[in-house]
Amino acid sequence: MQKFTLLDGLVVPLDRANVDTDAIIPKQFLKSIKRSGFGPNAFDEWRYLDHGEPGMDNSKRKINPDFVLNQPRYQGAQVLLARENFGCGSSREHAPWALEDYGFRAIIAPSFADIFFNNCFKNGLLPIRLDAEKVDALFKAVEASVGYKLKVDLEQQTITAPDGTVYKFEVEAFRKHCLMNGLDDIGLTLQHVGEIAAFEAKHRAAQPWLYA
Amino acid sequence: MGVQTLYDKLWNAHVVRQEADGTALIYIDRHLVHEVTSPQAFEGLKLAGRKLWRSASILAVADHNVPTKGRAQGIADPIARLQVETLDSNCAEYGVNEFKMNDVRQGIVHVIGPEQGATLPGMTVVCGDSHTSTHGAFAALAFGIGTSEVEHVMATQCLLMKKSKAMLVLVDGVLGRGVTAKDVALAVIGKIGTAGGTGCAIEFAGSAICALSMEGRMTLCNMAIEAGARAGMIAADDTTIDYLKDRPFAPQGELWDKAVAYWRTLHSDGGAQFDATIKLDAAQIRPQVTWGTSPEMVVAVDGRVPDPATMSDAVKREGAERALQYMGLKANTPITEINIDKVFIGSCTNARIEDMRAAAAVAKGKHVAPNVKLAMVVPGSGLVKQQAEQEGLDRIFVAAGFEWRDPGCSMCLAMNDDRLAPGERCAATSNRNFEGRQGQGGRTHLVSPEMAAAAAIAGHFVDVSTI
């Protein structure tokens, strides 16, 4: 997994609540058995004017000029600014895969759906919860200023705006540790093989029907 | 241990170890696997040279991509076919029990788990699918996970997670005529919103919940995720235990008696504390119909499409305006005046035998309206299909002009050929009305099986409680 420590990234505002994972990556792209290559189809139905299918040459498709990600000023954005309940719906990890492949490294929103939030951390993508009023202020600031960037410091758990305003954010210590060091969860868990085996033996004795 | 919630009991029985910040390693009893979210996990295992921790904990089935007609010809789409074949070959290589596409036990993963008795009270159940919350109907701790976590469970039999908050949704009283578990689910989501349960495990309780069949309880827990809660659950009682008796994967003989004694303890203790409590009066719940592009955009069938202009919250108002535009609806239109083009009865929410019976009872002796281009019934599993056919339900549907299909996820998410064309309006018994969910540009209204069947017959929404 890609480490996350510091980011100084261009921000793109996606001004709608309840953005679901079907919108982030539509179902037809879920037929892939790979983990990569979803970026060109992130937000496919909003981003293009035609219907997208796997295997299409996306560079030849007609883009929707009204969709915010297509606006020239937001090209190369690494920070996605979003509204409430971002990533709701399906558990598809293809959603963070698509966002990460597109180039995003951090998402800022007042709230995230639980499974999506969790999936982000497994893919070097940092989801940051900020109060709705602060997010609202950021939306106004981004829209008002071309080239608006935010500095995200995971170690310090801060976001710094161009005007010097510093926003503190919370992140669970364990997730932070894994993300800062690009650690593989499975490798970490397998350090506790003995404890898992001991638990399993006890569990089997208590509920033998689970192992029948 | 003192007074505990059902969630506390399930959680405490599965903690392997805990980090200083509260992150726990939770042991997983049952891992359900399907073709869409598992290939990358198997590949990850392979690349790292890791083995499955306990292959017997896994039950696999292909459901998202399978065709619902002409199955004998196989899957026409080569990309979808490769995904199903990849599941087959991974299961063969790793010794995983799989119900293949032409096995009569094949079906939607959240229908077959309980049907086989592979979901049992007291278990932790996971699947790379958000509707895993369904299995909580059996007093299990069940939740959806991403593919990285699928791989993590495969390799370690555990998951890293923090305990959620506990929310109680209490529904007391008697549900009215034509009002189902689906309507309760939609009414709860309408009340608390699609983020209302974020960070929570929801326990559904109260006399109206106790009175539900297991099918109804599964419908309700299935939609906990639509309220933002990863897990929904209901205490075990006689209904739970009677349902499980003699199921293929359920314990037998002495083990059964021992298991039942434990299962009877799986309820919240009197006086248990919840972080939040929501109360609904069952008698006040009317048949529900969604009007927008989020399950929280829902009203009673005798209501009207709301007017965004009356909404004070700017984000909500803009969301409602966008939804009405997408849905091709005008504010203040009576719900019963909305005509439909297609009907979908199926999905992990509403494709069990009871759902088939309820829809057939409405359709019996009637015919699908001329303006309805397609009304399809997709049973949740081969065994549901078989049972329905033994009861003659297929003949009722076909005589009424419905198509009777083979089991799978079908038009709930339209990964196979079953989908809406742009602009088409559908009465669906599934769980999500998101933009494009049932096909790009498709317009979905979520309803119960009874409401979907009645809409098919009338050509527009009707209040089933009046027919």
* Section A100-114 average pLDDT: 98
| Residue B340: closest CA among B415, B429, B467 | B429
Q: Are B290 and B323 in contact (CB under 8 A)?
A: no
- CA A59 to chain B, closest CA, distance in angstroms equals 20
pLDDT at B76 > cutoff 70: yes
Model pLDDT for residues B365-389, shown as the tens digit of each residue:
999 999 999 999 999 999 999 999 9
The beta-carbon neighbor of B436 closest among A26, A175, A196 is: A26
What radius of gyration, in Å, describes the C-alpha atoms of chain A? 19
Sort out which chain A residues have CB atoms less than 8 A from B144's CB and list them.
91, 115
Angle between helices B147-156 and A114-121 in degrees, nearest 10: 70
Q: How is residue A101 written in tokens?
A: 């492949």
Query: Which contacts of B142-146 are long-range, i.e. CB under 8 A and separated by 24 or more positions?
Result: B142/B221, B142/B231, B142/B233, B143/A115, B143/B230, B143/B231, B144/A91, B144/A115, B144/B225, B144/B230, B145/A91, B145/A115, B145/A118, B146/A91, B146/A92, B146/A93, B146/A96, B146/A115, B146/A118, B146/A119, B146/A122, B146/B37
CA distance B276 to B263: 25
Quick check: B434 and A51 CB within 8 A? no
Instruction: Please name the residue of chain A whose CA is at the shortest distance from the CA of residue B422.
Output: A51
CA distance A52 to A95: 16
Least confident of A88-92, B1-5, B117-121, B456-460: B1-5
Question: Given this model, what pLDDT does residue B21 score?
Answer: 85
% of residues, chain B, pLDDT over 90: 98
CA distance B353 to B311: 40
Q: Which of A24, A94, A125, A189 to mutate to test the interface with B (most CBs of B within 10 A)?
A: A189
Question: Quick one: chain B helix, strand, coil %, rounded to 5?
Answer: 40, 20, 45
Model pLDDT for residues A7-31, shown as the tens digit of each residue:
999 999 999 999 999 999 999 999 9
Looking at every residue in chain B, the average pLDDT score rounds to 97
- CA B123 to chain A, closest CA, distance in angstroms equals 8
Quote the Cα angle for B109-B113-B114, to 5°: 130
Sort out which chain B residues have CB atoms less than 8 A from A20's CB and list them.
294, 432, 434
| Residue B130: closest CA among B441, B448, B413, B461 | B413
Question: Given this model, what pLDDT does residue A212 score?
Answer: 82
Sort out which chain B residues have CB atoms less than 8 A from A93's CB and list them.
37, 40, 128, 146-148
CA distance B380 to B408: 6
CA distance B410 to B65: 8
pLDDT at A39 > cutoff 80: yes
CA distance B54 to B326: 47
% of residues, chain A, pLDDT over 70: 100
What radius of gyration, in Å, describes the C-alpha atoms of chain B? 21
* Model confidence band, residue B432 (pLDDT cutoffs 50, 70, 90): very high
Model pLDDT for residues B42-67, shown as the tens digit of each residue:
999 999 999 999 999 999 999 999 99
Distances (CA, A) of B331 to B292, B296, B320, B321, B338: 11, 16, 10, 9, 12
| Residue B297: closest CA among B150, B108, B432, B135 | B432
H or E segment to which residue A112 belongs: none
- CA B340 to chain A, closest CA, distance in angstroms equals 23
Question: Given this model, what pLDDT does residue B19 score?
Answer: 87
Number of Cβ pairs < 8 A linking chain A and chain B: 191
Q: How is residue B304 written in tokens?
A: 């009207």
Sort out which chain B residues have CB atoms less than 8 A from A31's CB and list them.
36, 65, 77, 79-80, 82-83, 415
CA distance A169 to A156: 9
Sort out which chain B residues have CB atoms less than 8 A from A22's CB and list them.
413, 432, 434-437
Quick check: A23 and B20 CB within 8 A? no
Model pLDDT for residues B206-240, shown as the tens digit of each residue:
999 999 999 999 999 999 999 999 999 999 999 99
For B12, the 3-state DSSP assignment is helix
- B303, with CB counted inside 10 A (0-12, 13-18, 19+), is middle
* Section B162-184 average pLDDT: 98
Task: Find the DSSP H helices in B297-379.
Answer: 314-327, 353-363
Q: Which residues make Cβ contacts (< 8 Å) with residue B52, sequence separation at least 6? A: B45, B58, B94, B95, B96, B154, B155
The beta-carbon neighbor of B259 closest among A32, A54, A209 is: A209
pLDDT at B467 > cutoff 90: no
Sort out which chain B residues have CB atoms less than 8 A from A66's CB and list them.
none
Quick check: A118 and B315 CB within 8 A? no
How many other C-beta atoms are found inside a 10 Å radius of the C-beta of residue B93? Answer: 10
Q: What are phi and psi of A106, to 5 degrees?
A: -145, 145
pLDDT at B1 > cutoff 70: no
pTM of model > 0.95: yes
- CA B280 to chain A, closest CA, distance in angstroms equals 24
Reported as half-sphere exposure (CB side, CA atoms, 13 A), residue B322 has a value of 16
The beta-carbon neighbor of A88 closest among B82, B146, B228 is: B228
* Section A117-144 average pLDDT: 97
